[in-house]
A and B are shown apart, each in its own frame.
Chain A
Amino acid sequence: MTTSKTININVPVLARVEGEGALDLSIQDQQITDLKLRIYEPPRYFEKFLEGRNYYDVPDTVARICGICPVAYQMSASHAIESIFNVKPTPWIRSMRRLFYCGEWIQSHSLHIHLLAAPDYLGFDSVIDMSKQFGDEVRRGLKLQTLGNDMVSLMGARSVHPVGVKIGGFTKAPDQSSVDDLLQRVTNAKQDAIDLIRWLDSLELPDDEQDFVSVALQHSEEYPFNEGRIVSDAGLNIPIDEFEKHFKETQRDHSTALHCLLNEKPYLVGPLARLNLNAQQLPREIKELMRELKAQFPSKNMFHSIIARAIEIYFCILEAEQILTSYLPTEKPCMEFKFKAGTGYGCTEAPRGILWHRYDIDEQGCVTKAVIVPPTSQNQPRIEEDLKNSLIHFGLHKQKKALQLHAEKVIRNYDPCISCATHFLNLNLMRDGIDDSKPFETLFAPHFKNIKLNKTAIIGIGSPQENDQSGYLAIDFLERDKHICKLQKNGLTLIKLDRPGMMLAESLKDFNHVVLIDAIRPKPSNARFKWIDIQNIKNQTRWLSSHSIGVAESLEWIKSIENLPKDIALLGISNIEPVELTAILLQCLGLNNRHQNPS
């Protein structure tokens, strides 16, 4: 064993997680020097485009945040908005919502156990390989997953983005025969759930106790789905509308990722946290089964999460059986109400933990503000903390491959849903922080508005013979690009310019909107392009190539005789990709909306 070494682990695409994330880990002399769970999915701005939409559009909109837990989004939103309108759901609606949620937990948990997590513990890369040796177990898991999906479909017509939910209840009550069919299958699935728990309990799970705070909803009479107070095992006990007072989304100094903290510390939400706090509400047969397990709850071993999920599947099956057995169709699957202005809060237990919503609604019934805190942004600080502890416990001297697998196992315990996480504030799109080596340096990125194409020019400066060809070659490329060609037909001018100076002044005078492209000596050396601040160009000359009278001097001079076009931008390029060049030019010209047809 070496005593001094550096290990860098970069997992560019994390497999078997929902959405796209990456892990960066550096270990130097057996110390972790860098550890980041990077989330690089681009943001989708749901909170913004909810603004101005009618309250009745909200359930169908927020479902689209996550294909795996749309029910959770619909439920948190419905409860939040109904609280504004003083809608009190009937017992029928209340119990059907619990059934609806049971379906989502069964589906999501089965998916996670079999497709995402179990291959880790049995030494496979995927469920496809695992099924060759563990065919019966995989088939049992897929059967449970299908049952969960069909339970959601009973109320919502389909399991991904269900259509049966509206503010006030459901669009339709299911007919008795569909309920009876489902009940039959639910009853038959009880043994599968028990077998699943015992099977998972027999696996060799790492022993890794850690100190952490569990947070979940708690209800005085039942295992929580839609209602309750937010409690922790460290003494927190608050109504849901006080969430913002205790939980803070904070910005980490090296990124834009907002992580949610409780009293400035990471905390855990999700199945293990729920079970740690609510086991007393489980039915007797589950409690008895739990006493026989190797894994004991409450537990501080995150690797017990997989068993907690299986226990919750069993709970959902028993709960669903009870609801379906006493089912009676109703004429009123939805409450009547009058909408009014106000602020409402909703917090329900998504499969991955508490999902908190807040809406402000105006007199017209439209959303003026929406705030959504998904479980994954709450768990993300805990994941990073866990990774640090867990890897040290595992042994930092171990082989790189073993370390990587262990790190991935730790992450997957949390079932992070990156699709959810990135659609909100906690986007960690830093890649390398603010680094102008990356595309879309936005610091001085110009945005021309309402351009007229026949008054617009793109001018490439450079010489075909010398080593600063880039500006020249850029125009060559643009002449072949289909987007640019179309614009050219509508009046856009492309110019190649061998020397700046007088020629530049001459070329500028016919246009109102001009982008100049010139070669740069990049710094840092891998920079592909840079927008240069023309107002401050005297101090920027180090960026520019050395023409006899350079672009900087020419622009200064034209500026001094007040002959600059209305819109002018200077783009320095080095080894930019052609597609990237087109994209940034179109963005600068304000033309990347394909429906926009400027005159």
Chain B
Amino acid sequence: MNAYTKNKPRIAVHKFSSCDGCQLAFINLGEPLLELTQLVDILHFAEAGPLDEDAMVDIAFIEGSISTTEDVMRLEKIRHNSQYLITIGACATSGGIQALRNMANTGEWIADLYANPSVIKSLDNSTAINDHVKVDLELWGCPINQQQLLSAIRSLLFGVLPKEENEKVCMECKRQQTVCVMVTKNEACMGPVTRTGCGALCPKAGRDCYACYGPAEKTNTSALANRFQGFGLLSDEIARRFLFIHSDAESFHQEGKRWKTK
């Protein structure tokens, strides 16, 4: 697949359990959205209009996590129909914020929320796409931003797999010369273990990072958790720092579980 092939690359955008926020990386492009439609054929993107769920495509983008058996079957079909499969956002890459239910008894939750629980056909767990099928590229972030998306598409148009961004938010803060909120304000900042890509938005806005881009490479989560304890955070508060947007990402999950008492 490259920019010079006669036929435009075909793409599809599929949605599973999510808030729709990552699809907005396409929809909020503004005028570049029209430019994008010159470069690729969008065959399926329900929110934007085109409908052809079973289309064979070059790139399938997937938003959302898997939480019903129908989802599993739909996903396998999408995998079968696409050359590259790219997950967009926290839900698709790690199960997302709704994976918090994986640590609870979902049956009880359903019983609590619904008068007639037996008709709710949801799996106990919310799981990432790569728990079920092969994923060619993961774009992390809650939500992903337009730069991530466009650079991935551009790379693929030129026939190369995009480079994975997995260094820590701290590195981005240093490059931007943002004052460290952990050093200067004792904020329980997750930057030291969180993947960059957002542009270090939170420290720049004067607050702690809350890890919406998921774990970075080689994270020292226990050292950070110990530091949080030094700040006076209670054990469960430390657990909740890790068990939030990416509670099912392995390193966060393990560290969170270590501190969780309730």
Chain A positions near chain B (C-beta within 8 angstroms): 13-20, 41-45, 47-49, 52-54, 57, 60-61, 64-68, 70, 107, 111, 115-116, 119, 125-129, 131, 135, 138-139, 142-143, 145-146, 149, 157-161, 163-164, 166, 171-172, 251, 255-256, 419, 425, 427, 429-431, 433-434, 438-440, 442-443, 447, 577, 579-580, 583-584, 587, 592-595
Contacts and interface: CB of A to CB of B under 8 A. Distances in A.
B38 to A, nearest CB: 10
A15 B17 contact: no
A474 B147 CA distance: 47
Nearest to B50: A126
A215 B57 CA distance: 45
Given A13-B51, A65-B19, A438-B121, A580 B206 contact: no
Interface string B88-128: 00000000111011101011011011111111111111110
B55 interface: no
Contact of B244 (A57, A115, A439, A583): A57
Contact of A592 (B19, B109, B123, B145): B123
B183 interface: no
Contact of B125 (A14, A61, A172, A592): A592
B121 A161 contact: no
Given A43-B120, A256-B120, A429-B120, A580 B31 contact: no
B235 to A, nearest CB: 13
B206 A172 contact: yes
A20 B115 contact: no
A107 B46 CA distance: 19
Interface of B: 15, 17-25, 27-31, 33-34, 37, 42, 46-51, 53, 67-73, 76, 96-98, 100-102, 104, 106-107, 109-110, 112-127, 131, 142-143, 145, 198, 201-202, 204-207, 210, 212, 237, 240, 244-245, 248, 250, 253-254, 257, 262
A20 B46 contact: yes
A68 B104 contact: no
Nearest to B210: A60
Contacts of B143: 67, 158, 160-161
Given A127-B48, A142-B30, A161 B212 contact: yes
A430 B205 CA distance: 44
For B104, B206, B250, the residue with the greatest tally of chain A CB atoms inside 10 Å of its CB is B206
A127 B49 CA distance: 7
Contact of B115 (A107, A115, A116, A256): A256
Contacts of B28: 107, 111, 145-146, 149, 159-160
B49 A67 contact: no
A115 B27 contact: yes
A67 B117 CA distance: 28
A119 to B, nearest CB: 7
B201 A126 contact: no
A119 B24 contact: no
Nearest to B75: A579
A417 B120 CA distance: 20
Contacts of A16: 46-49
A37 to B, nearest CB: 15
Contacts of A594: 127, 131
A419 B23 CA distance: 12
Nearest to A159: B28
B124 A587 contact: yes
Contacts of B118: 434, 442-443
Nearest to A141: B30
Contact of A54 (B25, B34, B50, B240): B240
B109 A442 contact: no
B20 to A, nearest CB: 4
B33 to A, nearest CB: 7
Given A13-B51, A44-B101, 10 more contacts: A16-B48, A17-B47, A42-B71, A45-B109, A57-B244, A64-B96, A160-B21, A164-B207, A429-B120, A595-B248
Contacts of B201: 157-158, 163
Nearest to A251: B115
A67 B115 contact: no
A587 B204 CA distance: 44
Contacts of B210: 60, 163
Nearest to A155: B205
Contacts of A592: 123-125
Contacts of B126: 44
A44 B98 contact: yes
B73 A163 contact: no
B34 A439 contact: no
Given A64-B97, A142-B30, A583-B69, A160 B120 contact: no
For A48, A135, A166, the residue with the greatest tally of chain B CB atoms inside 10 Å of its CB is A48
For B53, B116, B254, the residue with the greatest tally of chain A CB atoms inside 10 Å of its CB is B116
A128 B37 contact: yes
B202 A163 contact: yes
B108 to A, nearest CB: 9
Contact of A158 (B46, B115, B116, B145): B145
B30 A146 contact: yes
B210 to A, nearest CB: 6
Contact of A44 (B17, B47, B72, B207): B17
B69 A13 contact: no
A45 B71 CA distance: 18
A439 B20 contact: no
A493 B248 CA distance: 29
B124 A440 contact: no
A577 B69 CA distance: 10
Contact of B98 (A45, A142, A593): A45
Contacts of B119: 255-256, 429-430, 433-434
